[in-house]
Amino acid sequence: MSKTEMRLELLRPLDEVLAARMVRAHSIYGLLRLAPEASGQALRVTFDATRLTEQDVVSALRRAGLPVSLPRPSAVPNPA
């Protein structure tokens, strides 16, 4: 097993409905841990990278009804 952690953005704030969907998502094969960040705007997901890729995780959580996306890359200024 290769445990990997990733951060996913929630496309809407965490509420009771999404929290219930998170509980059900714990049964998804290969997902080890789902934890909301204190802001309620993102999730920390621990998964078995020998079973799932990052895209598999995103797809599985979306199918479970969680509106998630990979974080957008921040703009990095070009060095002069």
Residue 79 lies in a domain: no
pLDDT of residue 64: 95
Coil vs helix vs strand at 55? helix
Q: Is the predicted pLDDT of residue 80 greater than 90, yes or no?
A: no
The answer to whether residue 47 sits within a structural domain is yes
In a domain, 74, yes or no: no
Task: Decide: 43 and 33 in contact? Cβ < 8 Å.
Answer: no
Residues 23-76 have pLDDT tens digits of: 999 999 999 999 999 988 999 999 999 999 999 999 999 999 999 999 877 656
- Residue 21's domain comprises 3-69
Instruction: Judge whether 78 lies within some domain.
Output: no
In a domain, 75, yes or no: no
Q: pTM of the entire structure?
A: 0.84
At 7 the pLDDT is 96
Q: Is residue 61 part of a domain?
A: yes
Number of domains in the chain: 1
CATH number of the domain where residue 56 is located: 3.30.70.100
Please state the rounded mean pLDDT for residues 11-20: 92
What's the Cα-to-Cα distance from 20 to each of 3, 24, 34, 74, 79, rounded to whole Å?
24, 7, 12, 31, 46
